[in-house]
Amino acid sequence: MGVLEDISSWLQQGRAPKVKMCVQQALDEGIPAGEILEHGLLDGMNIIGAKFKNNEVFVPEVLIAARAMTKGIEVLRPYLVADGVEEKGTVILGTVKGDLHDIGKNLVRMMMEGKGLKVIDLGVDVSVEKFIEAARENNAQIIACSALLTTTMGEMRDIVEAVNASELKGNVKVMIGGAPITQSFCDQIGADRYTPDAASAADVALEICTA
């Protein structure tokens, strides 16, 4: 088995130190950073994402794998920048105002980063204005918001309205998700996309950014 398969396999097992070690080994062997990312780290994360979607692995495994991926990316990052590997798009992510739940949002971030997207994570309790400002400043293609409370999901309507009332209209898509969110709520508030889980959120974000 080659070192790229090792990276993918250790990542799926959530073994961060092994992932770091193998990424360094791959760099020492002269494998380009983009290839290590694509065929090692992202390959492993894609497999985990698919298994998560099919209920073959659960939140703890995903979090541990995602942490291993983050550690691998830390080793790789300076080389990626040097090699000029382009990010595939920029996503502004946050949990809406009044809502402090962030476990699902963090999964969304990790899955999106696993797809090669740049994610600017504004954290929790994020106001409409902060989402808009960040999208504007970073030339983002997507505002992605998470809500876990029925009392905070209405914030998403305000975000859609604020985008539509600004120059971002047409250029920035609003993606929504979280336990109480449904497709019918998405249709009702005119958001661009609803996805039920982190893996499909990442798939859709990539689709939007590369369309």
Q: Which residues bind ligand B1M (CB under 6 A)?
A: 59, 98-105, 107-108, 144-146, 148-151, 175-180, 195, 197-198, 201
Q: Which is nearer to ligand B1M, 20 or 193 (CB)?
A: 193
Shortest distance, position 200 Cβ to ligand B1M, whole Å:
7
Q: Which is nearer to ligand B1M, 11 or 112 (CB)?
A: 112
Shortest distance, position 3 Cβ to ligand B1M, whole Å:
30
The number of C-alpha atoms within 13 Å of 128 and in the hemisphere containing its C-beta is 15
User: Helix 59-83 and helix 42-53: axis angle, to 10°?
Assistant: 150
Shortest distance, position 175 Cβ to ligand B1M, whole Å:
4
Shortest distance, position 91 Cβ to ligand B1M, whole Å:
9
Q: Which is nearer to ligand B1M, 116 or 177 (CB)?
A: 177
Q: Which is nearer to ligand B1M, 10 or 52 (CB)?
A: 52
Shortest distance, position 140 Cβ to ligand B1M, whole Å:
13
Q: Which is nearer to ligand B1M, 5 or 61 (CB)?
A: 61
Distance CA 194, CA 181 (A): 8
Shortest distance, position 150 Cβ to ligand B1M, whole Å:
4
Q: Which is nearer to ligand B1M, 17 or 138 (CB)?
A: 138
